């Protein structure tokens, strides 16, 4: 059986601001990619390995696409989500709910990015 999520996108209004936020919080570098034959679409890919567990995804800036509406909730995997939580405010976001236990399934943090999108940080410790 495959993982239920194969890809995710986070719509953004200000690509540079959103890219800086996620690179700072997650401690990674997002790579640029143009949209498939669509000059009105800009993508910044999160680091991924298509052979490993989890879903790949990107920040997406599209003309007239709504941002910050949270119809989809994305959880980023972390070693200890408290580390990423400690970077959220300094990167321009908000912590909506500090690290808390979800029992045998680990811990999560709920945060809001610079674009108004709520996302989760998940770890087992």
pLDDT value for 1: 59
pTM: 0.85
What is the residue range of 79's domain? Answer: 7-65+72-123
User: Residue 36's pLDDT is what?
Assistant: 60
Q: Based on the structure, what is the number of domains in the chain?
A: 1
Residue 68: pLDDT band with limits 50, 70, 90: confident
In a domain, 58, yes or no: yes
Residue 38 has pLDDT above 80, yes or no: no
**1 belongs to a structural domain:** no
Torsion of CA 44, 48, 51, 52, to 10 degrees: -140
Q: Are 8 and 54 spatial neighbours (Cβ–Cβ below 8 Å)?
A: no
Judge whether 29 lies within some domain: yes
**38 within domain boundaries:** yes
The CATH number that applies at residue 95 is: 3.10.180.10
> From CA 64, how far away is CA 33, in angstroms rounded?
19
Residue 120 to residue 1: CA distance in whole angstroms:
24
Average pLDDT value for residue range 17-24: 98
Residue 47 lies in a domain: yes
């Amino acid at each position: 059986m495959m993982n239920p999520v194969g890809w995710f996108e986070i719509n953004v209004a200000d690509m540079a601001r959103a890219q800086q936020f996620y690179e700072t919080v997650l401690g990674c570098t997002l790579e640029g990619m143009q949209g498939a034959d669509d000059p009105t679409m800009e993508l910044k890919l999160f680091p991924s390995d298509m052979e490993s567990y989890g879903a790949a995804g990107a920040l997406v800036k599209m003309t007239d696409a709504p941002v910050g509406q949270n119809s989809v909730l994305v959880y980023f995997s972390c070693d200890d989500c408290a580390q990423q939580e400690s970077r959220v405010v300094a990167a321009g976001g908000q912590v909506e709910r500090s690290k808390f236990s979800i029992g045998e399934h680990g811990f999560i943090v709920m945060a809001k990015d610079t674009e108004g999108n709520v996302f989760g940080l998940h770890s087992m410790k």
